[in-house]
C-alpha cells in the first residue's frame, strides 16, 4: 500500500461482530476465560487490548516496521527504551534534543548508573570518538528540537552496526510521512504520538516501532511489566487522527515553507532555522532522507532579548502560546522557559538555543491568516 492508503487501512479491519468500520473502543479492564488460560487472546488490558492492538499495527505499518508498541506518553516510550540497558552502559546522544528527553536521561537514568554523552551530530563522524566497550546505544532526533539540526540517519546506522550498537531515532518532528528511519538502518523508532500522529491536541501518547523480533519481545515485556500503557479511548482517537496524517502533513509542509520564507525576508528577524533552506546545515542530507521539510520552524529576532521575544509571543492571535506541537492549530513557544527549561542555560547556549528563540508549529489554517498574524505580532 502507498502511504495514504496505509493511513486509512493498515492495522484496521471492520469489526467482525457488527461490521463497524471504525475499530470499537474496548473499554474493558479484563476478559472472560472459559477456563484458566483458555481465552480469545486477551486476558488483561494492561497486557493486550484490541483497540490498542489495532493502533500498534497501524503505526508499525506507517513506519515500514514489523512491531509497534504504544505507551501512555512519549516519555513512557523513552523510559522503556532506556530500560533495555543496565548500570554501567553508555549512550551517545545528540546534544540538541527535547528537554524532557534530556531530563529523563540526566535526572533519572543517570542515577541508575547509565552514562550519557551529549555531542553535536551534524558531522556524524564525531560519534566514533565516544564509542568504547561500554557503549550500547546511539540516540538522536532529526530534525532536532528546537534548532532543526539534521543528522544523517544512514550514516549513524552504519556506525551503530560497525560497533554493534542500537540506534534509536526520535521521529516525532518528521513523522513516517516524511522519513522512515528503519529503512535507513535504525533499530528503534520512537514517537511522541501526542504531536503529529495524533494531530488534534487531544491525546498524550508515545509509540515505538522495531523490526527485530527479540527487541520487540523485550520492549513488550517492559510495556507490560512497567505498565505505562495507553488506554482504549486514546487509542481510538489516534486511529482516527492517523486517517488524515498524509493530508495534514502535506498542508503543514506547504504552510511551513510559506512561513519560513516570510520570516527569512522580515527586516526584524535575524535568523530562521528551517531545514528547507539551501544554506541550512546538512540541507542535502535532509533532501535525501526526508520527503519534505515539515512545519516546525524556529527563529530569533534582531532585537536579541527575551523581552522582545515575549512581546511577540503575547501579540499572536492565531499562533497560540502553548506547550507541545504538531496539532492542526498553529502553536508558538519559548523553548528556554517552556519545553527546554529543564536543560541548564549554559548547555542550551552551546547549541545556539538563545533565550530569545521562538519556536513555531505551523498548523493547517489558511496561510494568509497566518502570515497576517506574523506581520502584526512581529511588527
Positions annotated as catalytic residues are: 46, 98, 170, 195
Locate cell 504504544: which residue?
70
Longest dimension (CA), the chain: 73
Set of cell numbers at residue 27: 473499554
Strand pairing class (135-141; 115-119): unpaired
Q: Are 178 and 153 in contact (CB under 8 A)?
A: no
Instruction: Please report the DSSP string for 20-53 in residue order.
Output: -SSPP----SB---SBTTBSSS-SBTTT--HHHH
Q: Name the β-bridge partners of 44.
A: 30
Set of cell numbers at residue 276: 528547507
Set of cell numbers at residue 31: 476478559
Burial class (CB in 10 A: 0-12, 13-18, 19+), 50: buried
Strand order in the sheet with 67-71: 67-71, 206-210, 188-192, 166-170, 135-141, 90-94, 115-119
Measured between alpha carbons, how far is residue 179 from residues 3, 158, 238, 292, 333 in Å? Answer: 11, 17, 19, 9, 25
Q: Which residue from 275, 321, 263 is spatially nearest to 144, judged by alpha carbons? A: 275
Locate cell 518532528: which residue?
173
Set of cell numbers at residue 89: 552502559
Burial class (CB in 10 A: 0-12, 13-18, 19+), 120: middle
| CA–CA distance, 169 with 334 (Å, rounded to integer) | 24
Q: Are 287 and 348 in contact (CB under 8 A)?
A: no
CA quadruple 332, 338, 343, 347: dihedral positive or negative?
positive
Q: Are 331 and 195 in contact (CB under 8 A)?
A: no
Amino acid at each position: 500500500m502507498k502511504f495514504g492508503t496505509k493511513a486509512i487501512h493498515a492495522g484496521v479491519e471492520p469489526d467482525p461482530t457488527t461490521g463497524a468500520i471504525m475499530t470499537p473502543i474496548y473499554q474493558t479492564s479484563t476478559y472472560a476465560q472459559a477456563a484458566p488460560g483458555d481465552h480469545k487472546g486477551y486476558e488483561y488490558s494492561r497486557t493486550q487490548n484490541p483497540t490498542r492492538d489495532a493502533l500498534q499495527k497501524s503505526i508499525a505499518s506507517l513506519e515500514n516496521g514489523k512491531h509497534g508498541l504504544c505507551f501512555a506518553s512519549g516519555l513512557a516510550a523513552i523510559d522503556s527504551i532506556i530500560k533495555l540497558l543496565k548500570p554501567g552502559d553508555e549512550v551517545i546522544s545528540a546534544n540538541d534534543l527535547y528537554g524532557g528527553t534530556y531530563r529523563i536521561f540526566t535526572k533519572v537514568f543517570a542515577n541508575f548508573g547509565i552514562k550519557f554523552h551529549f555531542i553535536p551530530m551534524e558531522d556524524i563522524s564525531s560519534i566514533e570518538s565516544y564509542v568504547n566497550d561500554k557503549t550500547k546505544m546511539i540516540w538522536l532526533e532529526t530534525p532536532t528540537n528546537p534548532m532543526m539540526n539534521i543528522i544523517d540517519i544512514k550514516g549513524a546506522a552504519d556506525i551503530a552496526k560497525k560497533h554493534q550498537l542500537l540506534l534509536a531515532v526520535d521521529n516525532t518532528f518528521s513523522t513516517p510521512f516524511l522519513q522512515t528511519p528503519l529503512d535507513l538502518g535504525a533499530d528503534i523508532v520512537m514517537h511522541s504520538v501526542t504531536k503529529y500522529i495524533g494531530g488534534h491536541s487531544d491525546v498524550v501518547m508515545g509509540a515505538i516501532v522495531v523490526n527485530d523480533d527479540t527487541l520487540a519481545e523485550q520492549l513488550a515485556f517492559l510495556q507490560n511489566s512497567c505498565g505505562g500503557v495507553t488506554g482504549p479511548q486514546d487509542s481510538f482517537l489516534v486511529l482516527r487522527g492517523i486517517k488524515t496524517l498524509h493530508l495534514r502533513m502535506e498542508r503543514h509542509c506547504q504552510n511551513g515553507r510559506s512561513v519560513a520564507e516570510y520570516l527569512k525576508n522580515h527586516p526584524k528577524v535575524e535568523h530562521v532555522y528551517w531545514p528547507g533552506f539551501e544554506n541550512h546545515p546538512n540541507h542535502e542530507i535532509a533532501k535525501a532522507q526526508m520527503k519534505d521539510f515539515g512545519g516546525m520552524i524556529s527563529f530569533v529576532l534582531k532585537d536579541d532579548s527575551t523581552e522582545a521575544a515575549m512581546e511577540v509571543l503575547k501579540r499572536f492571535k492565531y499562533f497560540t502560546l502553548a506547550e507541545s506541537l504538531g496539532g492542526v492549530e498553529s502553536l508558538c513557544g519559548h523553548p528556554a522557559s517552556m519545553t527546554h527549561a529543564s536543560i541548564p542555560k549554559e548547555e542550551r547556549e552551546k547549541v545556539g538555543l538563545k533565550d530569545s528563540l521562538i519556536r513555531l508549529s505551523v498548523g493547517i489554517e489558511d496561510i494568509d491568516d497566518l502570515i497576517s498574524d506574523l506581520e502584526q505580532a512581529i511588527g
